[in-house]
Amino acid sequence: MNGLEARDIQMRFAGLVALDGVTLEAPRGRVTGLIGPNGAGKTTMFNVCGGFLRPTQGRVFIDSDDVTTSSPTDRARRGVGRTFQRLELFRSLTVRENIALAAEGQLISDGPLAQLGITRNSRAARVANREITEKLIDDVGLTGLADRRAGELSTGHGRLVELARTLANRPTVVLLDEPSSGLDPVESARFGAILRRLMDENDLALLLVEHDMNLVLSLCQWIYVIDFGRPIFEGTPDDIRRSPEVQAAYLGKAVA
């Protein structure tokens, strides 16, 4: 399968079972949601998918390759990008500099001469960096703020910088952890529209953990629900709205 697949994931911490038999698929060209109440195990599952935790049981695949024992760095090289719930930007750098710094990792080799910018291909890499950076700035709608320092931005614009930085690494799988955190409804809707467009344009697999149910139900095409570390339901947004199990565990009146 092209995208992310996690099979029968179990995660134990001493005597605590944080995940118990969770399976999910996030293929390219689809926005996939992972929801559940606080403490359900969503972040633990994200950390397993991203390589920050090695599961006690189960396997993780990227584009059908087994990456269960691979580090986060190895998975990034294989095309996995991730954002985090807490917004982390280089606040003293501009929007353009934040994105260019992320893009540089894909264009400059690990050799010391390349890092100093004195190899034969360094000029071409700098040109490519500028092109990628400017395209991403335009893609996420930040052209007018490109020279603004990141520390001066609103949370909504900061989320867009974070997204552009993630895409600068040219991922095929993107893990989004609470991307609407700190956003108002208008900003959240705008962010969702940008995500959908960029997914379609770049054939991305998007896996989204999110508490904003309006965003989840409007953006995701398939949703997995976990509670107390166990899978309890999966289906389309309409299935989620109609499910008594989901409403009892998490949604309540949110989708009435």
- For domain 3-88+157-251, the CATH class is alpha beta
Measured between alpha carbons, how far is residue 73 from residues 41, 82, 225, 232 in Å? 23, 11, 28, 32
Q: Which of the pair, 74 or 123, is modelled with greater confidence?
A: 74
Cα 17 from chain centroid (whole Å): 25
Residue 226's pLDDT is what?
94
pLDDT tens digits for 218-243? 999 999 999 999 999 999 999 998 99
Q: Average of pLDDT values for 37-62?
A: 94
**pLDDT at site 88:** 84
- Band (164; pLDDT cuts 50, 70, 90): very high
Q: Per-residue pLDDT averaged across 101-107, rounded?
A: 79
Cβ-Cβ contacts under 8 Å for 43 (sequence gap 6 or more):
85, 177, 209
Residue intervals in the chain for CATH 3.40.50.300: 3-88+157-251
Confidence of residue 30 (pLDDT cuts 50, 70, 90): very high
- Per-residue pLDDT, 255: 44
Question: For position 112, what pLDDT does the model report?
Answer: 54
Q: What is the pTM of this model?
A: 0.86
For 32-64, letters b (16+ CB in 10 Å) and e give bbbbbeeebbbbbbbbbbbbebebeebebbbbe
Whether residue 138 has pLDDT greater than 90: yes
> Would you state the pLDDT for residue 256?
42
Under a CB-based contact definition with an 8 Å cutoff, are residues 22 and 71 in contact? no
Contact criterion met (CB below 8 Å) for 3 and 205: yes
Band of pLDDT at residue 136, cut at 50, 70 and 90 = very high
CB count, 10 Å around CB of 76? 17
pLDDT band at residue 182 under the 50/70/90 scheme? confident
Q: pLDDT grade, residue 254 (50/70/90)?
A: very low
Lowest mean pLDDT among 39-53, 107-121, 150-164: 107-121
